[in-house]
Amino acid sequence: MRQGFLILLAIWMLFAGVCFAEKVTIYRDEWGVPHIYAQTEEGVAYGLGWAQAEDRLEQLLKNYRLAAGTMAEVFGEQWIEHDWQQRFVGHEEVSRRRYRELPAKIRAVIEAYQQGVKDYMKRHPEQVPAWAPKIEPWQVVALGRYIIFNWPMGRAMAGLQRRNEVTLPFSSNQWAVRPERTAEGCAILLIDPHIPWDNEFRFYEFRAHGGELHLSGFGPLGAPMLGLGHNRYLGWAATTGGPDTTDIYVEEVNPNNPLQYRYEGKWRNMTVRKVRINVAGKPPVEREIHYTHHGPIILREGNRAYAVATPYLNEVGFVVQLYRMATARNLREFQQAMAMNHFMEQNIMYADVEGNIFYVRTGRVPIRPKGYDFSKPVPGNTRATEWLGIHPMKDLVQLLNPSRGYMQNCNIGPDNMLVNSPLTADKYPEYIYGARPNENNSRGRRAVELLENTPRMTLRQAIAIALDTHADMAEQWKEALAQAAEQSADKETVARLQPAIRLLRQWDGFMNADSAGASLFRFWREAIKRFSPPIDPEAVRARKPLSAEQAEALLKALASAVEEMQKRYGRLEVPWGEIHRVRRGGKSWPISGGETGGGQTLRAVGSRMEADNIFYGVTGQNWTQVVLFRKGAVESYSANPYGQSDHPTSPHYTDQAEKLFSKSRLKPTWFEREWLEGHIESTTVLEWK
């Protein structure tokens, strides 16, 4: 009787337009990071929308324009080609068309999130830029597509240029350790993407608790999605590297009709879509996109046309997969989410409270027919080259709980993920393996060295490995220099270089901010690359004897480095942090780690030298998180190179740059409410209807 009454009451309230109000509380910790508490997932999303708008509204709105390809209409003609590329792959068109196909729950979360953004804008109209786009739910999906398409389109351009590989402007670190190799008695995971510090890849840090969502990590600005991070049961990291997901088809064009192409002996009509790009202060640009059944035409050469084929082209499931990953409670549920195969080609590494560590080299991988080299453009006029479906996750490179108790992938091949890795290239098709045999780099080598030799990892050691600044092969290069100085016949030059030789000999091999040896090493390694005959780094790594010619080249390179430093800085002994800095708001601070002239340290910082002869960080460790998966008490530590807010007047505009990033420190995330007590800077209570 009572249940029937409640049902009738609910129906009456629905038709009467009665709204239920949900309280949403945003606690800001002492670093300005929001901790959002609500009763439902939608309430959490609403609070996240409000918090993101409060911290970084302009970038949020700009991200929507970037994804939709509408930058030129407000920022000018320099954005025309960017906008054309986004129209070419159809982020707005596909997202608009397919948005209603998303599960109702996903749409409800997206729309609640955007309501939070819009309500903040209504409350603070003075902060809304004149160029703000109208906010619509499909934009969240388009933004997700915009971010992941960097990888398949990179592959497309590589195939178009007849190359087998593409080097993407992204690198990252990840590693996972099982409980038996930790003093903490739990699995530990490093999440450490190395991506640009500004614009769409500068993600947003948050904690969220409501309904099935209990999250800590980072996600795209403009979306209610956790890109990388953890919940109360598990977490995941991602690094660039993975299977080949994209192909180029060469279409035979009808010489009498450029909008027809041959397929199986018959002419087919291309599909034509007209695009109009509005341009501020200029006439609009009108273009056409031509499609074959393989995909859009990216290039024409006479009666040949090159079509991009990627299984991501018409997909919107990325947002659904991220939600399922975020709400997974165990390995099986996480693997089911990963099996959706909507993630871009990445190395995904996982750990959980049960002590499991798991790796999959994921991607939406076409099943290619045999007999063709799909690393190059393939004929599009025959059925013989058509894809045969999408590889299920079981076909992909993966590893669960390796016997050594750890694994890492810092953008290296699966066969170098750990000592005696079982993931060798001979076990997989080349396009699924996605790496050359024995593909490695400075970060991968150092990660294996440290993980292999840390049998009982403490929290302190985990953070130290995440922020390690050792220069790859520092000891071998110092030994080679000593050998060159000893065997050189030019004793006068050796004597003149003694201050530099002594500085390098006394250097401990770490690119630390207070180290003058680190600065000289960077300039010396850069100079070595310019000398002929080239010196093989692998021969130096193996400590092979130098030829007389190579020994002289090492000394000449050192003389060149000394001369350059004297010219730029007026002295030889220059602390690394004096010329290697993080900058924001007209201020800068010294930073350790980074480029060594021959690779990156694990603590990666990509920098640019400017007119003042200082290297300023622009990419690298973007947001680093170390996670300890204690059952019932998952604990994590994080930092980013700037701060939480984009408001120059906020104390959180540069606080992490000055107090964390510059000091090589991570802060506690205070994931659970009781841990946050005593660290709350402000409280905002909202009502979401």
211, 193 contact by CB (below 8 A): no
Q: How many helices (H) and strands (E) does the chain have?
A: 22, 28
**pLDDT 10s digits, 312-364:** 999 999 999 999 999 999 999 999 999 999 999 999 999 999 999 999 999 99
In this prediction, residue 164 carries a pLDDT of: 32
**pLDDT 10s digits, 606-650:** 999 999 999 999 999 999 999 999 999 999 999 999 999 999 999
Give bridge partners of residue 29 from the DSSP assignment.
Answer: 680
Q: Is the peptide bond before 220 cis (omega within 30 degrees of 0)?
A: no
Give bridge partners of residue 257 from the DSSP assignment.
Answer: 254
Record the pTM: 0.93
**pLDDT 10s digits, 646-681:** 999 999 999 999 999 999 999 999 999 999 999 999
Specify the amino acid at residue 101.
E
DSSP H or E segment with residue 346: strand 346-352
Task: Determine the Cα–Cα distance for residues 313 and 200; give it in Å rounded to an integer.
Answer: 20
Residue 533's pLDDT band (boundaries 50, 70, 90)?
A: low
Q: What's the whole-number mean pLDDT along residues 517-524?
A: 98
Note the Cα 46 to chain centre separation in Å. 25
Give bridge partners of residue 56 from the DSSP assignment.
Answer: none
172, 195 contact by CB (below 8 A): yes
**pLDDT 10s digits, 78-125:** 999 999 999 999 999 999 999 999 999 999 999 999 999 999 999 999
Residue 9's pLDDT band (boundaries 50, 70, 90)?
A: very low
Whether the predicted pLDDT of 163 surpasses 50: no
Helix axes 138-148, 318-327, angle to 10 degrees: 90
**pLDDT 10s digits, 384-436:** 999 999 999 999 999 999 999 999 999 999 999 999 999 999 999 999 999 99
Residue 159's pLDDT band (boundaries 50, 70, 90)?
A: low
Whether the predicted pLDDT of 168 surpasses 80: no
Task: Determine the Cα–Cα distance for residues 138 and 141; give it in Å rounded to an integer.
Answer: 5
Contacts of residue 621, defined as CB under 8 A and 6 or more positions apart, other chains included, come to 192, 194, 593, 603, 604, 605, 641, 661
Q: Torsion angle of alpha carbons 663, 666, 670, 675, nearest 10°?
A: -60
Whether the predicted pLDDT of 165 surpasses 60: no
Q: What's the whole-number mean pLDDT along residues 512-540?
A: 90
In this prediction, residue 485 carries a pLDDT of: 93
DSSP one-letter string for 453-478: T-TTB-HHHHHHHHT--BPTTHHHHH
Residue 157's pLDDT band (boundaries 50, 70, 90)?
A: low
**pLDDT 10s digits, 302-326:** 999 999 999 999 999 999 999 999 9
In this prediction, residue 630 carries a pLDDT of: 97
In this prediction, residue 355 carries a pLDDT of: 98
Specify the amino acid at residue 86.
Q
Whether the predicted pLDDT of 7 surpasses 60: no
Q: What's the whole-number mean pLDDT along residues 269-295?
A: 96
Burial of 30 (0-12, 13-18, 19+ CB in 10 A): middle
H, E, C per residue of 510-573 = ECCCCCHHHHHHHHHHHHHHCCCCCCCHHHHHCCCCCCHHHHHHHHHHHHHHHHHHHHHHCCCC
**pLDDT 10s digits, 465-500:** 999 999 999 999 999 999 999 988 888 999 999 999
In this prediction, residue 162 carries a pLDDT of: 45
In this prediction, residue 548 carries a pLDDT of: 87
CA distances to 258, 607, 666 from 196, rounded to whole Å, are 41, 10, 19
- Please state, as a whole number, how many other Cβ atoms lie within 10 Å of the Cβ of residue 537: 18
Whether the predicted pLDDT of 138 surpasses 70: yes
Whether the predicted pLDDT of 154 surpasses 80: no
At 127, is the secondary structure helix, strand, or coil?
A: helix
In this prediction, residue 6 carries a pLDDT of: 47
Q: What's the whole-number mean pLDDT along residues 17-29?
A: 84
Residue 16's pLDDT band (boundaries 50, 70, 90)?
A: very low
In this prediction, residue 8 carries a pLDDT of: 52
In this prediction, residue 279 carries a pLDDT of: 97
At 334, is the secondary structure helix, strand, or coil?
A: helix
**What b/e readout covers 197-212, taking b as 16+ CB neighbours within 10 angstroms?**
beebbbbbbbbbbbbe
DSSP one-letter string for 587-645: EEEE----B-SSSB-SS-EEEEE-TTS-EEEEEEB-SEEEEEE-TT--EEEEE-SS-S-
Specify the amino acid at residue 297.
I
